[in-house]
């Protein structure tokens, strides 16, 4: 049986101490391969052009190019690596913008080592690293209520079946599969299937992007 390919990781943070700490965590895992560590977003974009990467950990506030623009440039490429934003959350109000730019989720800078490596693996597997409770806190903290956009909301809903619409609205509010199953009287397996279908129809990578679309289209408002 062949050995699974190692997950190729890069780190971008302008604080040398933080870079070193993250590099130590990544380097300690047998299935993770640290390809490089840089101090700003422009250097990270260049690193992604030179190497095939699977996951990058990106700080938001960096010189030359911040994490938001770096994320936007990185994910625009074909076969782009997944991006995890590293944020202080309470102080860093650019986290939501980075997720909107294409990040698959975020970590707090004080996350435990096991949380960091687990997030890398989860993102590499194609999922978001933002838990439903954290999604709710992030949205409540960062999103200003958008103007109602009935046309965009209708366009989104028209692509989904009635049940997929129900599931989509629950996902957008930060509900887990178990919570959705209970509220809509479905099995968790059925909810998982509906989530997969609606993400595919709407061209979304993960649940985080579903939350972003729901708020930007006006289907869901902060505090709803």
Under DSSP, the state recorded for 102 is T
What pTM was estimated for this model as a whole? 0.72
CA distance linking residue 109 with residue 188, whole number of Å: 32
pLDDT digit string (tens) for 163-213? 999 999 998 877 888 899 999 999 999 999 999 999 889 988 778 778 878
What pLDDT is stored for residue 147 in this prediction?
53
The C-alpha angle with vertex 118 and arms to 94 and 45, in degrees rounded to 5, equals 45
Topology classification of domain 7-129: Rossmann fold (3.40.50)
What's the mean pLDDT in 146-175? Answer: 83
Confidence of residue 138 (pLDDT cuts 50, 70, 90): low
Q: What does the mean pLDDT of the chain come to?
A: 84
CA distances from 46 to 10, 53, 67, 100 (A): 12, 12, 13, 22
- Decide which of 211 and 27 is more confident: 27
Give the percent of the chain with pLDDT over 70.
Answer: 83
User: Hey, where are the domains in the chain?
Assistant: 7-129, 150-216
Contact 56, 11 (CB under 8 A): yes
What pLDDT is stored for residue 198 in this prediction?
92
Topology classification of domain 150-216: Arc Repressor Mutant, subunit A (1.10.10)
């Amino acid at each position: 049986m062949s050995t699974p390919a190692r997950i190729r990781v890069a780190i971008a943070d302008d604080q040398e101490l933080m870079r070193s700490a993250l590099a130590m965590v990544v380097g300690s895992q047998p299935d993770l391969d640290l390809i490089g560590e840089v101090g700003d977003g422009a250097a990270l974009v260049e690193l992604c052009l030179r190497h095939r990467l699977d996951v990058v950990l990106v700080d938001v506030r960096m010189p030359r190019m911040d994490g938001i623009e770096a994320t936007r440039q990185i994910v625009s490429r074909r076969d782009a690596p997944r991006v995890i934003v590293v944020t202080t959350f309470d102080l860093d109000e650019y986290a939501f913008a980075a997720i909107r730019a294409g990040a698959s989720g975020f970590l707090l800078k004080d996350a435990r080592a096991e949380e960091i490596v687990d997030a890398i693996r989860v993102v590499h597997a194609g999922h978001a690293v933002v838990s439903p409770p954290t999604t709710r806190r992030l949205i409540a903290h960062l999103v200003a209520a958008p103007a109602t956009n009935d046309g965009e909301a209708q366009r989104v809903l028209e692509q989904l079946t009635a049940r997929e619409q129900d599931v989509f609205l629950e996902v957008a509010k930060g509900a887990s599969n178990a919570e959705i199953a209970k509220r809509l009287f479905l099995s968790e397996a059925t909810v998982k299937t509906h989530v997969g279908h609606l993400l595919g129809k709407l061209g979304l990578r993960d649940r985080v992007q579903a939350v972003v679309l729901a708020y930007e289209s006006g289907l869901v408002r902060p505090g709803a």
